[in-house]
């Protein structure tokens, strides 16, 4: 499971109050591996935050948690292996 954005809000390199940690923990409790990608953080910074960085490998599903400008034009084709289902919004 890929979570896009570690940051609290789009365009700001700050993780205080970020929901990514709670979403990742819940995914882990449910047996999923939570991977994180954020254009504002490199892999080492994500690891320092206790998050597992995405290496570009295929994923089963993607959660766009906060909108960075870089993500506004993403489609399923950007994520190899992603499921092609309907878009759904949910709150954890």
8-state DSSP, 44: H
pLDDT given at position 71: 72
pLDDT, mean of residues 75-80: 66
CA 83 to CA 21: how far, in whole Å? 23
Residues 6+ apart with CB under 8 A from 18: 6, 7, 8, 66
Q: Which of 32, 30, 29, 38 is nearest to 3 (CA)?
A: 38
Q: Mean pLDDT over all residues of the chain?
A: 81
Instruction: State the DSSP H helix or E strand holding residue 3, giving kind and residue range, or none if neither.
Output: strand 2-4
Dihedrals phi, psi of 36, to nearest 5 degrees: -130, 140
Using an 8 Å Cβ cutoff, are 43 and 12 in contact?
A: no
In degrees, rounded to 5, the angle at the alpha carbon of residue 22 between the alpha carbons of residues 18 and 24 is 105
pTM given for the model? 0.76
8-state DSSP, 28: H
pLDDT given at position 79: 63
């Amino acid at each position: 499971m890929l979570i896009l954005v570690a940051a609290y809000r789009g365009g700001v390199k700050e993780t205080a109050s970020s929901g990514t940690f709670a979403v990742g923990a819940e995914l882990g409790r449910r047996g999923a591996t939570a991977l994180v990608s954020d254009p504002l953080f490199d892999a080492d910074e994500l690891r320092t935050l206790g998050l597992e960085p995405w290496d570009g490998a295929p994923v089963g599903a993607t959660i766009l948690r906060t909108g960075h400008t870089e993500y506004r034009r993403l489609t399923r084709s950007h994520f190899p292996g992603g499921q092609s289902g309907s878009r759904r919004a949910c709150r954890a």
